Homo-oligomer: A and B are copies of this chain.
Amino acid sequence: MNRKYVIGVDIGGQTSKLGVVDARGNILSQSTIRTDTHEDVQLYVRDLAAAIRDLAEHVGGMSFVRGIGIGVPMGNYYLGTVENASNLKWGGEWKGSIPLAELVTRETGLPVALTNDANAAAMGEMAYGAARGMKDFIMITLGTGVGSGIVVGGNVVYGHDGFAGELGHVVMVHEGGRQCGCGRCGCLETYTSAVGVARTARQLLAESEQPSLLRSVDADAITSEDVCKAALQGDAVAIDIFNFTGDMLGKALANFVAFSSPEAIILFGGLTKAGDLLKKPLMEALDRYVLSLWRGKIKVEFSELPASDAAILGASALAWEL
């Protein structure tokens, strides 16, 4: 058996990260391509295939690669498709449903399995990260959007159609909620993603005259990193932004716990860099709103894996099953 490596691909709204992985979970080489520069998915797939071939060269070429695992927003494990992904700009021939696994197989000659990016991250966390040894946990990814991977009894929950675990699109505010990319209003993602934090910043800055380091940044260009930096310097408005964000996330997590009673909730993605700025208000809201039998019992942990590694490793784990 020469095919002793797999490729893991993590497709995000802006960039796609990929790596070649051995059976022990070492990422031997990795690279990045842009996701958002292609309007046509076929051109994207061509770029991706080229990057995959380049990576494969590091382990002796494509004949040593067993298969490709892909984590992608709205990826469907059962169908190998990407459905209506509101954060991806791909159009072209397929509007609603893109047969990504098939397209990548056609360009590379290798078998492909794909799932939701957050499900892939959960698999990576279970195999190599903070959820090692856990059978029941929820992974929440706080990136451009908010994703989730739910593990029950050691298995990722795919549901009837393969789309289970869209917790970023749980509606938190039913009246007057923020417009979401999904077409509805009030989704968790509009408040607790990196983009959501920037929206909160613009809102709080507009609602008051309170002095803030953030006022030196062009309002439209504020990022969650700006807010984090300001909060770490003690900026009161920036701290309030994280209090609001953590509170909203804690309220959501309290309800998720009532669903699957997880041992832990693992948080992953750019926003976790805020550390206790996010976690403290989150834990307060979780404790206040969770059913008493779980109060103080649910671990909330940040991913122990570097963001890109977890996603690549998780996606690659899919490929071993091919």
- Asked whether A291 and B155 contact (CB < 8 A) given A174-B251, A261-B164, the answer is no
A161 to B289, CA, bound (A): 19
Chain A 164-192 per-residue mask, 1 if CB under 8 angstroms from chain B, else 0:
11110111001000000011100000000
Interface flag for A102 (CB, 8 Å) = no
Chain A 138-170 per-residue mask, 1 if CB under 8 angstroms from chain B, else 0:
000000000000101101011111111111011
Query: Is the CB–CB distance between B159 and A261 below 8 Å?
Result: yes
Quick one: which of B159, B163, B261 contacts A152, CB cutoff 8 A?
B159
Q: How many copies does the complex hold?
A: 2
Interface flag for A14 (CB, 8 Å) = no
Query: Is the CB–CB distance between A150 and B289 below 8 Å?
Result: no
- Asked whether A255 and B170 contact (CB < 8 A) given A160-B135, A261-B159, the answer is yes
Quick one: which of B165, B262, B291 contacts A166, CB cutoff 8 A?
B291
Main secondary structure of the interface of A (DSSP, over half): loop
A163 to B261, CA, bound (A): 6
Which residues of chain B are within 8 angstroms of A297 by Cβ–Cβ distance? 161
A169 to chain B, nearest CB (A): 5
Quick one: which of B159, B167, B261 contacts A160, CB cutoff 8 A?
B261
A154 to chain B, nearest CB (A): 11
Quick one: which of B162, B184, B260 contacts A157, CB cutoff 8 A?
B260
Query: Is the CB–CB distance between A260 and B159 below 8 Å?
Result: yes
A251-289 at interface with B (beta carbon < 8 Å)? 251, 254-256, 258-263, 289
Minimal Cβ-Cβ distance residue in B for A169: B291
- Asked whether A262 and B171 contact (CB < 8 A) given A182-B292, A291-B182, A292-B84, the answer is no
Chain A 292-319 per-residue mask, 1 if CB under 8 angstroms from chain B, else 0:
1110010000000000000000000000
Which residues of chain B are within 8 angstroms of A262 by Cβ–Cβ distance? 159-160
Interface flag for A240 (CB, 8 Å) = no
Query: Is the CB–CB distance between A293 and B163 below 8 Å?
Result: yes
Query: Is the CB–CB distance between B259 and A256 below 8 Å?
Result: yes
Query: Is the CB–CB distance between B152 and A157 below 8 Å?
Result: yes
Interface flag for A83 (CB, 8 Å) = yes
A167 to B260, CA, bound (A): 10
Interface flag for A10 (CB, 8 Å) = no
Q: Which 7 A/B pairs are nearest by Cβ-Cβ distance? A: A159-B261, A164-B261, A160-B263, A136-B160, A166-B258, A170-B255, A169-B291
A-B contact pairs, 14 of them (CB 8 A): A74-B293, A136-B159, A136-B160, A152-B159, A153-B155, A157-B259, A160-B261, A161-B297, A164-B259, A165-B261, A166-B258, A170-B255, A171-B289, A184-B291
